[in-house]
Amino acid sequence: MSRLFIFLNIIFVLIANTTSLTEHNLKPKPKPNTFVIPVFKDTRSGLYYTNVTVGKPPVVANLVVDVRGSALWFECDTVGYNSTTSTPVPCGSPGCEQTKDKCTTCQAYLKSELTFNTQIATLINDDVMLRYMSPSSAYVAPKLPVRARIACRGYFEGMMNMLPAGTLGILGLGNSSTSFVSSLLSSYKIPFKVSLCLPSKPGNNPGSVYIGGSLKRKDLTGLLVSTPLISNRETKEHGEDYNYFIDVKSIEVNGKRLSFDHDLLKNKRGHWGRTKIYTLLEAYIYKALVRAFSEKTKKRKAVYPFTDCFSYKSFGEKSLLGKETPVISLVLGEGAKWDIYGPNSLVKVNKNVVCLAFQEADEFESLFPIEIGGYQMEDNLVEFDLEASKFSFTSSLLRHNTSCSPQ
């Protein structure tokens, strides 16, 4: 089944980049301030994945992008990783968790929805080839070997069928001081900022993850709206320590507030959830959303895995961006509104039927009333800026005749 995730990390000081190149410099030393990692959509699972080249001799690791995980980890043995450039992370370093026995290698526990249980991994440092942007230009330069922390895990049978074919690990983008993201930021003195622009179409036209900065396009910066990121302190006890949280005050459909008991949202947060593709809503909220859509349209028989489907005709049949498609707004802290248009709220399952791209949480899942899924972020630029403690987003780029994977 399809799931999605998101994760992030710590706060670093932005140090002014002084690129004083003289004419005599033969080859300017690269000054990356943003790393750019391509993200593809997997057709079968609906997950988003990337591939990175690690070590020498190089191996390519296909990784699921998880906003909520902390590490870059993969099954090193399975891809024949035996790198001469890798160095062990010394025992006793931050992030090493070992027993009282004498330590030979630094090990860490990996927590992920996809592994079902906690896994032990060995931490190493090695070169990862990454594309990058410099402070002065939006040009994405060719790959640079970047020293970063990686977690090597042994083969684990239970996990593989959850991942898209060929992926052997996870790229975690969560809030952790000992993660892959943090190791890049501390080596290059760049701020803790992770941005995503997820593609809506499978194939070779990727979207991107940006580490340290964001997509540099003047036409898009004007579209960004912000809300505070909430500290994860109070959620740590639930084992949610790498996740990002925002306040969702209410939900509107075409500007009209959904009717459900808004105490459900009190003291609880919207967050990036458990590797969900479709946003998971607490049952009362989900039902209120279905009611609001049903008022405007004809219901149709549900098509698996969705539970509420409608006649495409009632949405104008031209494009899900059309004005007949209701706009869902998440009303967030400090009044920002995240408008969700048809391409992010409905899935066209056949010529005549579209289905609501949200899921109703069962009673075991509703620890949090809203878990934001990947589908709702496709073709939206979103930024987690830990230095400024804010979350920024553009809403659908399709409305501005662009996307996360233009061309």
Q: For 317, which DSSP code?
A: S
The reply on whether position 22 binds ligand NAG by CB under 6 A is no
Give the separation between CA 341 and CA 360, rounded to whole angstroms: 19
Does 128 contact ligand NAG by CB under 6 A? no
Is 82 a binding residue for ligand NAG by CB under 6 A? The answer is yes
Closer to ligand NAG by CB, 57 or 305: give it: 57
Check residue 84 for interaction with ligand NAG (CB under 6 A): yes
Stretch that binds ligand NAG, among 113-121, 135-143, 225-233, 346-354 (CB under 6 A): 225-233
Tokens (6 digits) for 5: 């995730």
- Tell me which of 1, 14, 60, 165 binds ligand NAG, using CB under 6 A: 60
* 231 touches ligand NAG (CB under 6 A): yes
Distance of CA 341 to the CA centre of its chain: 19
The one among 173, 229, 285, 361 contacting ligand NAG by CB under 6 A: 229
Distance, in Å, from the CA atom of 13 to the CA atom of 10, rounded to the nearest integer, reads: 10
407 binds ligand NAG (CB under 6 A): no
Shortest Å, Cβ 338 to ligand NAG: 17
Nearest to 103 by CA among 115, 89, 116, 117: 89
Q: Which long-range contacts (CB under 8 A, 24 or more apart) does 133-138 make?
A: 133/32, 133/33, 133/34, 133/36, 133/213, 133/216, 134/17, 134/19, 134/30, 134/31, 134/32, 134/33, 135/17, 135/19, 135/31, 135/33, 136/19, 137/216, 138/216, 138/217
For residue 29, how many other CB atoms are within 10 A of its CB?
7
Distance in angstroms (rounded) separating the CA atoms of residues 113 and 66 = 10
Minimum CB distance to ligand NAG smaller for 82 or for 87: 82
Give the DSSP per-residue string, 135-156: TT----EEEEEEEEEEEEE---
- Separation of alpha carbons 120 and 109, rounded Å: 5
Q: Which is nearer to ligand NAG, 234 or 295 (CB)?
A: 234
* Minimal distance, residue 198 CB to ligand NAG, in Å: 14
Cβ distance to ligand NAG smaller for residue 87 or 231: 231
What's the token pair of residue 252?
A: 């509107």
State which of positions 330-389 bind ligand NAG (CB under 6 A). 386, 389
Could you tell me the two tokens for 397? 């780029």
Rounded to whole angstroms, the Cα distance separating 197 from 393 reads 10
Between residues 17 and 86, which has the closer beta carbon with respect to ligand NAG? Answer: 86
Here's the x/- map for ligand NAG, 284-313, by CB under 6 A: it reads as ------------------------------
Asked if 391 is part of the footprint of ligand NAG (rule: CB under 6 A), the reply reads: no
Which of residues 17, 51, 85, 86 is near ligand NAG by CB under 6 A? 51
Q: Does 185 bind ligand NAG (CB under 6 A)?
A: no
Residues that bind ligand NAG (CB under 6 A): 10, 40, 51, 53, 60, 82, 84, 175, 204, 229, 231-233, 244, 386, 389, 400-401
